[in-house]
Chain A
């Protein structure tokens, strides 16, 4: 069965403390691996799309990477405004739409 698994479920960091979020996937015919950020009461906000192993993308303090089995979202020197739930999703496996992981709830303490 096609699926993505995110870890950890929750992560609390001090401001400036860098870390990584993990998204492991098993998908037949992966078309794209997506990262989203979701704030409470809001819809998911698109961050990155990764298509092939070895690909990397960056935006401000965030960097997303992709291997054949997993994707990482690296956050460098985070600030309190980076606190959110980060969702990993894939397209492919013959299904329409996106299939999401359960997310990582990230809290950055000042």
Chain B
């Protein structure tokens, strides 16, 4: 069992749907992350929240929208996704993101399929 909890574990949605992925950690970490992982590929960073400040990977399309209600929770809002967005979405947390030498702890991800 991991200390980073992601829900739902699986999600199937159409291209016109709006849905949200949720992530929660109770380790007192102050930085949280979203990664995208395609099959047989490594995780790729999408967003970083550190001390409530957002950093964005500029290659991530605007149909993905992160939200950090508090330091323990991280959401990823999805809207008008494309079939190529089907992937495993991983949430991670670490004690701090600057300096970026702290290990990140990952949840088991949400498997997203876009019809």
Partner of B106, one of A44, A95, A101, A102: A44
Residues of B contacting A99 in the complex (Cβ-Cβ under 8 angstroms):
45
- Is the pair B100, A43 in contact by a Cβ cutoff of 8 Å? no
Instruction: Kindly state the separation between the CA atoms of A9 and B29 in the bound complex, as whole angstroms.
Output: 33
Residues of B contacting A17 in the complex (Cβ-Cβ under 8 angstroms):
none
Tell yes or no: B25 within 8 A of A by CB: no
Tell yes or no: A110 within 8 A of B by CB: no
- Is the pair A92, B107 in contact by a Cβ cutoff of 8 Å? no
Tell yes or no: A96 within 8 A of B by CB: yes
Partner of B90, one of A43, A51, A95: A43
- Is the pair A49, B101 in contact by a Cβ cutoff of 8 Å? yes
- Is the pair A42, B108 in contact by a Cβ cutoff of 8 Å? yes
Q: In chain B, what residue has the closest Cβ to A92?
A: B100
Main secondary structure on A side of the interface with B:
strand
Residues of B contacting A32 in the complex (Cβ-Cβ under 8 angstroms):
100-103
Residues of A contacting B105 in the complex (Cβ-Cβ under 8 angstroms):
46
Interface string of B47-65 (1 = CB under 8 A from A): 0101000010000000000
Instruction: Kindly state the separation between the CA atoms of A41 and B45 in the bound complex, as whole angstroms.
Output: 18
For chain A residues 46-84, which have a beta carbon within 8 Å of chain B? Answer: 46, 49, 51
Partner of A91, one of B42, B43, B55, B101: B101
- Determine how close the nearest CB of chain A comes to the CB of B42; give it in whole angstroms: 4
Please list 28 pairs of residues, one from A and one from B, whose beta carbons are closer than 8 Å in the complex, sorted by A's number. A32-B102, A32-B103, A43-B90, A43-B92, A43-B106, A43-B107, A46-B103, A46-B104, A46-B106, A49-B103, A51-B101, A87-B42, A89-B42, A92-B101, A95-B45, A95-B100, A96-B45, A96-B48, A96-B55, A96-B100, A97-B33, A97-B35, A97-B45, A97-B48, A99-B45, A100-B43, A100-B44, A102-B41
5 A-B pairs besides A32-B101, A100-B42, A102-B42 with CB distance below 8 A are A32-B100, A36-B106, A49-B102, A49-B103, A92-B101
